[in-house]
Amino acid sequence: MNQETWQRIVKYTELQGTSGQEEAVRRAFRDDLTPLVDHVEQNDLGGLFGTKVGREDDPRVMFAAHFDEVGFMVAGILPTGALQVVSLGGWNPVTVPAHRFTLFTKNGQYPVVSSSVSPHLLRGKGGAAALSIDDILFDAGFESKEQAESMGVRPGDFIVPESKTVRMANPNRGLSKSYDNRFGVSAILSALTDLQGVQTPNTLIMGANAQEEVGLRGALPAVQQFKPDVFFAVDSSAANDVDQTVGRQGILDQGTLIRVFDPTVVTSPRLKEFILQTAEDNQIPYQYFVSKGGTDAGAVQKYGQGLPAVALGVASRYIHTHETVWSIPDFDAARELIVALAKNLDRSAVDDIVGK
């Protein structure tokens, strides 16, 4: 990974934008995307895509990341000034307490911390009870509900994790928040950088959707807008390799993921074989992945008469928390696979995948 790519990942992982509040990420993405494509279009839900235009009879190939990260929304303000929240995206409650966040209000941005119970206050109470999101309050230091409201806080305001991106002692590892899915945003831009001056045998549509973490909401408007013949979700999945690697899936440094099954998508055999052949022909390391969660691919496969769709990407540890550990070689492999697919998906290949 070169320094330009590393700095791009730092930039996008440190930007803050949870579901429905992706504007800062989208604005930066538009600036970086525009020089790499023929034109840029945004849909009304907030998805943004650039198109490299091919010939009239070329297939339409779409790669889609998503802008949003997991976060919270203010649901109520207590008399003490503490904030009640609802989650935006899936959180394991035990990972939430005692972390810094940013509260976005109409009057500005404020530092806020998720509440936790001091061990001193648990003495004699038999330890901590089972925790749910409803038990966790957010503390911006307000003295009262009235003070919070006077500073512009209202239900519906967004609370987004705050964290810095660093390289770890092992130079092949990065540590950041929001790698799900600023990985995808960064990979899309990196692939388009590699494709500058390249005429692909397709009309290539690359960008990112909004509101993936709250029900895959942005994907269907995007495919309705651009009408692709084949769809690739570019996303980060949960690694499961800390205590052992034998018999596990999603292992760091083993290459890009090819998701063959999740609860929302059974990957087409023809599409799977094309991806595998492309990876092997280009000596790109890859690993199979079976997931318990879905991606935007699941939201779009029922579009029209049926849209071939699959998720590609990487595995990373501790996703949907403040701190995710990820593999730099895996990022490079995913980038290479996106580029290779874009170069090889011609009309004949797409017709074969569709089964025409």
Same domain, 81 and 213: no
Same domain, 60 and 183: yes
How confident is the model at residue 225, as a pLDDT?
96
Residue 56 catalytic?
no
- The catalytic position among 22, 69, 212, 336 is 212
* Residue 201 CA from chain centroid, whole number: 27
Same domain, 17 and 80: no
Give every CB contact of residue 170 below 8 A, 6+ residues apart in sequence.
none
Same domain, 87 and 145: yes
Of 237, 279, 322, residue with least CA distance to 13: 322
* Residue 239 near residue 256 (C-beta atoms within 8 A): no
How confident is the model at residue 129, as a pLDDT?
59
Residue 39's pLDDT band (boundaries 50, 70, 90)? Answer: very high
Residue 118, pLDDT above cutoff 70: no
What three-state secondary structure class fits 310? strand
Residue 342's pLDDT band (boundaries 50, 70, 90)? Answer: very high
37 part of a folded domain? yes
**Matching residue, tokens 């899915």:** 181
Structural domain including 87 reads 71-161
How confident is the model at residue 124, as a pLDDT?
54
Residue 131's pLDDT band (boundaries 50, 70, 90)? Answer: confident
252 part of a folded domain? yes
Same domain, 218 and 145: no
Give every CB contact of residue 51 below 8 A, 6+ residues apart in sequence.
37, 38, 39, 40, 41, 203, 204, 205, 226
166 part of a folded domain? no
How much is the mean pLDDT over the chain? Answer: 94
What is the Cα–Cα distance from 58 to 202, expressed in whole angstroms?
5
Here the CATH number for the domain that contains residue 325 is 3.40.630.10
118 part of a folded domain? yes
205 part of a folded domain? yes
Same domain, 194 and 137: no
What is the Cα–Cα distance from 317 to 96, expressed in whole angstroms?
16
Name the domain boundary from 161, 186, 206.
161
How confident is the model at residue 125, as a pLDDT?
54
How confident is the model at residue 119, as a pLDDT?
59
89 part of a folded domain? yes
Name the domain boundary from 117, 132, 161.
161
Using one digit for the tens of pLDDT, what is the confidence trace for 170-221?
999 999 999 999 999 999 999 999 999 999 999 999 999 999 999 999 999 9
Here the CATH number for the domain that contains residue 90 is 2.40.30.40
As a whole number, mean pLDDT of residues 341-351 equals: 97
How confident is the model at residue 67, as a pLDDT?
98
Same domain, 64 and 91: no
Same domain, 146 and 260: no
Distances from the Cα of 142 to the Cα of 38, 150, 156, 329, angstroms: 49, 10, 18, 45
Same domain, 211 and 96: no
How confident is the model at residue 42, as a pLDDT?
97
In total, how many domains does the chain have? 2
Burial annotation 277-307 (CB, 10 A radius, 16+ → b, else e): ebbeeeebebbebebeebbbbbbbbebeeeb
Give every CB contact of residue 76 below 8 A, 6+ residues apart in sequence.
83, 84, 155
What is the Cα–Cα distance from 180 to 19, expressed in whole angstroms?
12
167 part of a folded domain? no
Amino acid letter, residue 314: V
168 part of a folded domain? no
Using one digit for the tens of pLDDT, what is the confidence trace for 235-294?
999 998 988 877 788 999 999 999 999 888 999 999 999 999 999 999 999 999 998 888
Same domain, 235 and 318: yes
Same domain, 124 and 244: no
Residue 112, pLDDT above cutoff 70: yes
What three-state secondary structure class fits 258? strand
Q: Poorest-confidence range of 121-125, 133-137, 326-330, 331-335?
A: 121-125
Name the domain boundary from 106, 127, 161.
161
Using one digit for the tens of pLDDT, what is the confidence trace for 138-167?
999 999 999 999 999 999 999 999 999 999
What is the Cα–Cα distance from 348 to 355, expressed in whole angstroms?
10
Residue 336, pLDDT above cutoff 60: yes
Same domain, 293 and 340: yes
Residue 123, pLDDT above cutoff 90: no
How confident is the model at residue 127, as a pLDDT?
52
Q: Output the CA torsion 160→161→166→172 (10° steps).
A: -90
How confident is the model at residue 100, as a pLDDT?
97
